[in-house]
């Protein structure tokens, strides 16, 4: 059965009516009587003071610690002035993006789920860039902090962000440098604070790789205990004072980290990445001076390196302690080596804005480590921009060859 068509009645003034209606409609628009799309609720994004982006890779043996730190963040939660956005990948489940919300349940994650991502590779730098893009587009802010949470090994081995279910893939330091340059372009600004809640990342080589994309780097020269940073304390401080500057925020992160490990050997530093060029140039001068020094036995340089403050990776020594020992050692005959070492020590005190240590084993830590191979030379070093600009690999390869004899 079909429905019969009704006869359409067309009034004589149909055309006049349409014209009149269109004119009135245009007048309403010109007078602002009809709201624009940008005024619809939720369309315009108000800038916060800070967006804290946490790339939380628990897809490994740190899974339980990752969940504990998520719960630590939930004890604080986001506010209208501070966005706390987390991309969490667990060992047993898919990756999820959260807007961290205040919650007092210490066992369950109750924050707002923004996206289910499925199983992804957190060791792929492209996924880091995608996370930063998501945060910048959906949670814009005047200042950005990016925290990389996971295992770390400086420039060696897996570098940072090991993903066990993705064939133990990880983000190399050159990949990290390129990813953060992309992030700077996406955000149209440098990352104000780059934090690495991971072991052994406070190296001059690492800092140099990310210097063009971030202002401050907060990281440890030594291994970081599994509990990692004290997220509740420093996020609470930021929520209380969202207008704080990046250096103040960085210092609170450092202080809260040291304070929660009163019986362990820990250190953490805040590096001004914008002042790194001159320091690195002088490390290049030191490299040339050592290579040209025919008055000092190379064994003296080996001994000084071996006597410098070292860390849980014996191949990483403290740059400041090394420079001080070079300058003070009477067996170093080259005036160029000594003057370069003194300059490095002076510049380091300007580059490292804040340095906290606790424990006898890290007593002579000055904030940034330097590669000085003790067991074996790692050819990954030659991929670093730092090496290209300093030729430090020529020094350590020469000395390591003598060490093996």
Cα 372 from Cα 302, distance rounded (Å): 9
Q: Let me know whether 254 and 396 are in one domain.
A: no
> What residues make up the domain containing 263?
48-273
Q: Let me know whether 191 and 297 are in one domain.
A: no
What is the structure's pLDDT at 336? 98
Q: Let me know whether 240 and 382 are in one domain.
A: no
Other beta carbons less than 10 A from residue 362's beta carbon = 22
Q: Let me know whether 112 and 246 are in one domain.
A: yes
Indicate if the pLDDT at residue 314 is higher than 80.
yes
What is the structure's pLDDT at 93? 83
- Reported as a pLDDT band with limits 50, 70 and 90, residue 405 is low
* 245, 273, 301 - which closes a domain: 273
Q: Let me know whether 257 and 339 are in one domain.
A: no
Average pLDDT of 318-341?
98
Query: Looking at the 3D structure of the chain, how many domains does it have?
Result: 2
In a domain, 24, yes or no: no
Q: Let me know whether 288 and 354 are in one domain.
A: yes
Indicate if the pLDDT at residue 397 is higher than 70.
yes
Cα 246 from Cα 123, distance rounded (Å): 27
Q: Count of H helices and E strands in the chain?
A: 13, 13
Question: Quick one: the chain helix, strand, coil %, rounded to 5?
Answer: 45, 20, 35
Cα 209 from Cα 260, distance rounded (Å): 30
Q: Let me know whether 255 and 288 are in one domain.
A: no
Is 380 or 28 the better-scoring residue by pLDDT? Answer: 380
Please report the DSSP string for 256-283 in residue order.
HHHHT-TTS-EEEEEEEGGGHHHHHHHH
Q: Let me know whether 228 and 352 are in one domain.
A: no
How does pLDDT run across 34-61, given as a tens digit for each residue?
332 223 334 357 899 999 999 999 888 8
- Which CATH number characterizes residue 127's domain? 3.40.50.11970
Q: Let me know whether 203 and 148 are in one domain.
A: yes
- Reported as a pLDDT band with limits 50, 70 and 90, residue 166 is confident
How does pLDDT run across 72-91, given as a tens digit for each residue?
999 999 999 999 999 999 88
Q: Let me know whether 267 and 398 are in one domain.
A: no
**Region class of 82: left (phi > 0), else alpha (psi between -120 and 50), else beta:** beta
Indicate if the pLDDT at residue 20 is higher than 80.
no
Mean predicted lDDT score pLDDT of the chain:
90
Q: Let me know whether 310 and 385 are in one domain.
A: yes
What is the structure's pLDDT at 60? 86
């Amino acid at each position: 059965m079909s429905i019969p068509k009704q006869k359409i009645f067309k009034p004589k003034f149909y055309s006049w009516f349409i014209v009149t209606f269109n004119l009135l409609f245009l007048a309403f628009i010109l007078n602002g009587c009809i709201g624009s799309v940008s005024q619809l609720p939720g369309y315009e994004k108000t800038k916060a003071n800070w967006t804290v982006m946490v790339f939380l890779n628990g897809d490994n043996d740190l899974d339980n610690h990752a969940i504990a730190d998520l719960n630590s963040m939930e004890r604080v939660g986001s506010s209208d002035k501070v966005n706390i956005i987390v991309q969490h990948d667990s060992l047993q489940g898919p990756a999820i993006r959260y807007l961290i919300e205040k919650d007092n349940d210490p066992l369950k994650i109750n924050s707002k789920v923004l996206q289910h991502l499925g199983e992804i590779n957190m060791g792929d730098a492209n996924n880091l860039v995608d996370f930063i893009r998501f945060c910048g587009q959906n949670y814009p802010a005047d200042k950005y902090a990016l925290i990389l949470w996971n295992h770390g090994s400086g420039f060696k081995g897996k570098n940072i962000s090991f993903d066990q279910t993705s064939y133990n893939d990880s983000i190399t330091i050159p990949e990290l440098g390129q990813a953060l340059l992309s992030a700077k372009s996406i955000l149209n600004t440098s990352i104000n604070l780059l934090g690495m809640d991971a072991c052994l990342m406070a190296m001059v080589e690492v800092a140099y790789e990310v210097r063009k994309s971030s202002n401050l780097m907060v990281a440890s020269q030594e291994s970081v205990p599994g509990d990692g940073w004290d997220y509740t304390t420093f996020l609470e401080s930021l929520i209380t004072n969202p207008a704080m500057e990046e250096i103040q925020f960085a210092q609170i992160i450092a202080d809260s980290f040291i304070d929660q490990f009163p019986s362990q050997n820990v250190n953490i530093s805040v590096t001004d990445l914008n002042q790194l060029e001159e320091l690195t140039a002088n490390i290049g001068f030191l490299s040339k001076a050592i290579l040209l020094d025919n008055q000092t036995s190379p064994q003296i340089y080996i001994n000084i390196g071996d006597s410098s403050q070292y860390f849980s990776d014996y191949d990483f020594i403290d740059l400041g302690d090394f420079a001080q020992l070079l300058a003070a050692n009477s067996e170093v005959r080259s005036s160029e080596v000594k003057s370069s070492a003194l300059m490095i020590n002076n510049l380091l005190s300007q580059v490292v804005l804040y340095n906290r240590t606790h424990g006898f084993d890290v007593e002579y830590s000055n904030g940034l480590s330097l590669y000085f191979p003790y067991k074996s030379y790692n050819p990954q070093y030659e991929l670093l921009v730092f090496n290209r600009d300093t030729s430090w690999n020529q020094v350590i390869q020469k000395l390591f060859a003598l060490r093996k004899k």
